[in-house]
C-alpha cells in the first residue's frame, strides 16, 4: 500500500534529491526517500540483532563460575614479558 504524505527538506537535502533524480540514479525523489528509509530499517534491525547477541553473551558470561575465570596477571604475562624485552 502506498500512502501519500508531505515532507519538508532543507535546501541541502532538496538539492541532493533533485541532483540524484536528474542524474537518473533514482526515478523520483519518493524512490530515493524510500530507499533511504529501507536502509534505516535494515540498519536498525541489524543493530537489534547485534545488541541481542551482546545481551546473550553477557548473560552467558554471568553464568561462568568464578573458578573458571582467567587471572589477569596470567593472561597478560607473556605480553608484558615481550614488552619488557622490546620484542614486538
Q: Which pTM value belongs to this model?
A: 0.66
The residue extents of the domains of the chain are: 11-85
Backbone angles phi, psi at 59, to 5 degrees: -60, -40
* Residue 39 CB contacts under 8 Å (≥ 6 apart), including other chains: none
Dump pLDDT digits (tens) for 26-73: 999 999 999 999 999 999 999 999 999 999 999 999 999 988 888 888
Q: Give the confidence band of 88 by pLDDT, cuts at 50, 70, 90.
A: low
Residue 79 in this model has a pLDDT that exceeds 90:
no
Whether residue 20 contacts residue 32, with contact meaning beta carbons closer than 8 Å, is answered with yes
Can you give the C-alpha Rg of the chain in angstroms? 26
Amino acid at each position: 500500500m502506498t500512502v501519500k504524505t508531505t515532507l519538508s527538506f532543507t535546501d541541502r537535502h532538496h538539492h541532493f534529491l533533485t541532483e540524484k533524480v536528474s542524474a537518473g540514479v533514482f526515478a523520483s525523489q519518493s524512490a530515493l526517500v524510500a530507499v533511504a528509509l529501507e536502509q534505516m530499517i535494515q540498519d536498525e534491525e541489524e543493530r537489534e540483532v547485534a545488541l541481542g547477541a551482546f545481551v546473550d553473551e553477557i548473560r552467558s558470561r554471568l553464568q561462568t563460575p568464578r573458578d573458571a575465570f582467567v587471572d589477569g596477571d596470567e593472561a597478560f604475562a607473556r605480553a608484558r614479558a615481550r614488552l619488557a624485552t622490546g620484542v614486538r
